[in-house]
């Protein structure tokens, strides 16, 4: 996510020594989009934000003044796309590989925002540069913030309903001990440095959930 005034507010609310990552927790879901030829064309991504971050966003924008946990259509419209204003170079915390090679994902499109039970959920679409035949190679999808400011968790296998029959997907979780070892080693290198929080090491990939997808040959 972009480092906005909202995230600054989160830091101010964190108790010292705090500033240990992550600060935002996001349950994510993925739908793989297919064209009429049953080739994969992109991803529809869902982000379910944790209660605290949702509260910060709502209060920062002075929405839900009656505190009923719901927004009017007008209030919801003000939120639409709030998390799609990405800094230059930000890759969207979603990564994909096909046949072991990184894919370039297009910019976010068709943003939608919902708010229910005190939690924000947003949706956006990322397109592949060209359609992919998943019968030829494996597609891998990863969700992570390189700086580990946000922690993503893929809670279920992707929606493949628009794809060919026989596609399958498996979610793999990182080894907690191995990921923590990477984190601790990176933090040890920062010991004694000034401004370490601003240069938090890029350890997010070690904590990444990933999905591996295959389809039968067409």
User: What are the tens digits of pLDDT across the range 73-123?
Assistant: 888 888 888 999 898 888 999 999 999 999 999 999 999 998 888 899 999
The whole-chain average pLDDT of the chain stands at 84
DSSP helix, strand, coil percent of the chain (3-state; round to 5): 20, 35, 45
pLDDT band at 20 (very low <50, low <70, confident <90, very high): low
Looking at residues 175-197, what average pLDDT do you find?
A: 72
Once rounded to an integer, what is the mean pLDDT over residues 188-209?
A: 70
Helices 51-60 and 5-13: crossing angle in degrees, nearest 10, is 120
So what's the pLDDT on residue 213? 94
Q: What is the pTM of this model?
A: 0.83
Of 24-38, 42-56, 163-177, 183-197, the poorest mean pLDDT is in 183-197
- Check residue 156 and give its pLDDT: 86
DSSP state letters, 107-170: PPEEEEEEEETTEEEEEEEEEEEEEE-TTTS-EEEEE--TTSSEEEEE-SPPB-TTS-TT-EEE
Provide, rounded to the nearest whole percent, the portion of the chain with pLDDT above 90: 50
């Amino acid at each position: 996510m972009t480092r906005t005034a909202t995230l600054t507010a989160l830091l101010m609310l964190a108790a010292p020594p705090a500033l240990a990552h992550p600060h935002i927790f996001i349950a994510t879901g993925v739908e793989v989009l297919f064209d009429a030829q049953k080739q994969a064309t992109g991803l529809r991504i869902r982000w379910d934000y944790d209660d605290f971050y949702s509260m910060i966003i709502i209060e920062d924008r002075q929405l839900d003044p009656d505190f009923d946990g719901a927004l009017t259509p007008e209030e919801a419209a003000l939120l639409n796309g709030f998390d799609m204003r990405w800094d230059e170079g930000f890759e969207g915390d979603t990564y994909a590989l096909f046949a072991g090679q990184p894919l370039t994902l297009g910019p976010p499109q068709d943003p939608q925002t919902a708010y229910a039970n005190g939690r924000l959920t947003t949706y956006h679409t990322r397109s592949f540069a060209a359609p992919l035949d998943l019968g030829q190679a494996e597609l891998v999808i990863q969700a992570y913030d390189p700086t580990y400011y946000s922690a993503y968790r893929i809670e279920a296998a992707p929606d493949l309903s628009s794809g060919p029959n026989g596609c399958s997907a498996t979610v793999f979780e990182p080894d907690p001990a191995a990921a923590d070892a990477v984190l601790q080693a990176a933090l040890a290198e920062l010991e004694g440095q000034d401004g370490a929080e601003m240069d938090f090491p890029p350890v997010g990939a070690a904590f990444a959930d990933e999905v591996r997808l295959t389809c039968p040959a067409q």
